[in-house]
Chain A
Amino acid sequence: MSEGWLAPFLLATLRAATPLIFCALSVVLAERAGVIHIGVEGVMLAGALAGLLGVVFWGDAYVGILFSLLVGLILGLLLALITVYLPSDQVVTGIVFNIFSLGVTSFIFRLAAEKNAAVQALIPVMPGSVFGLSPFMVLALVLTVFMWWFMFRTGPGLKIRSMGEDAHAAHAAGINVVITRMLILTAAAALSALGGAALTIGWVRSFTDNITLGRGFIALAAAYCGRWNPLLATAACILFGAGEALAFRAQAAGEGLNPHYFLMIPYLLTLLVVAVAGKGRAPADVGRPYVRR
């Protein structure tokens, strides 16, 4: 490695970690309230496309971000209706939602490309970067701290966590579980979509079918690795981002350990953490549909 490799490496790490951070925070938020957020991958994919389309059709990165958030809110509401209001199995719903989202985004991408060829080209670099740090990176770090403060230091945060531990007890304490969980999942999905926008607007600057390539699942891994604590989850994202940056570096160098072994790290590490921690710290009521008795 040449001189001065550290700064570019850290930057590459943070760049790869940023989309993951938003998504991991969204998983932490939803699952602390008791809803498994497997659909993070699908929402992220939709957010990635929406962000790019926003930039292409309205010509402004921030409009792209807003559009992506809007799409995230709508999809979150849809997921909330199915998994919280009805309520159906959260895992099945999340998984088939991901398949569905893959189909719809690929379809809309083609459709948009027919209307405007610029959809398939690179979009401009996002303005507002400071020292190579994009606004997304800063926002991700700020949101992490905010989320931690909100979850563990405020009343509403406590109420959300209580829903994740025991929905019926939370109901007895006067919380409207269905409405609150729906709101939380909707907000969480908006965050997942923001993660997608961070991928397309803030990093790759283009869209291809299935561009997220399982990053939503890596974020899921990070949230579990971080034991549903925003600070630890973000730390896990940065670690995983470093793994990805190392893999790129190994690929570019063409020598040394096969980069695919680096890419296994997030998953194996998560398994290790799960093995050591077991059920510890997991929201006890997560994944159980809440039906009023």
Chain B
Amino acid sequence: MLRFLLRRGAMLVATLLVASFAVYGALDLAPGSPIAALTGGRTPSPEVLAELNARYHLDDPFLVRYWNWLTAALTGDLGQSIPLRENVSTLIGQRIGVTASLVALTSLVIVVGGVGLGLLGALRKGAVDTGVVLVSTVSAAMPSFAAAVVLQFLFGVRLGWLPVLGTGTGFADSLKHLVLPALALAATSVALVTRVTRTAVREELDKEHVQTAVSRGLPWSSVVRRHVLRNAAIPITTVVGLTVASLIALSAVVETAFGLNGLGAYLVQAALNKDFAVVQGISLVLVVAFVVTNLLVDLAYALLDPRVALGSRAS
């Protein structure tokens, strides 16, 4: 187990190093100078130019700047937004909570809704199952931005039940503002998890060990919990983990659609305004979150399935 952890840890560090280099390098290559953003297009005098270059370390060679950025990032300092003259870490700190709660709430919807619907479809054949398949087919075809627009129209404009724009203030109000975004973000993934759960549970129900358990007279609920779900948990965990990881980037779309003041929406704004320090910082945070989530999925997978040979997983 320790070797497995060390190996995956080393891979994680290597991936993050290359990824951070790519993020920093790509934005460094971008045409246009940050000085132009500062001076509003006027040509600064040589003294001012030298002062600005020195303040933002624009004269250093690329590798030196990358190294400084990376080491500072490790201590939580992601540099300054040149147009806003504010610390990127502060800007991220103000918004990360919204994104984290959105992803957490969405994950909850995915797990409860997806596993619940999947179980329902697998255990109750006939009309209920057909209904589950129908719901999952429709919601699988709903990209998050499409779901966002449809939900805004139905529950916001037509029924007026829930707020459709903004972040809200206070706990209850914020939560209320997150309901529709979380549903929109969950739409496709719920369908996926439902499908995988339904298939996995069906397959497990047909296995001999389940029939044996039933014929031994074990109560049905305990057969489902201890024999069926325990085995079906492996594919379910994998698909839940992978979809949750994919939410991290997709949150940008939903946050923009619902006017939420989160990291993703801010990343899009920063990209449009060419605020490179912010784009670098948020991209780094999102990539780290994505990679770490994927690692956790692998770990959960290894823990749940003793057959996965630790340390030599086929990739």
* A and B co-occur in one complex: no
Q: Which residues in B have some Cβ–Cβ distance to A below 8 Å?
A: none
Give chain A's interface residues, CB within 8 Å of chain B: none
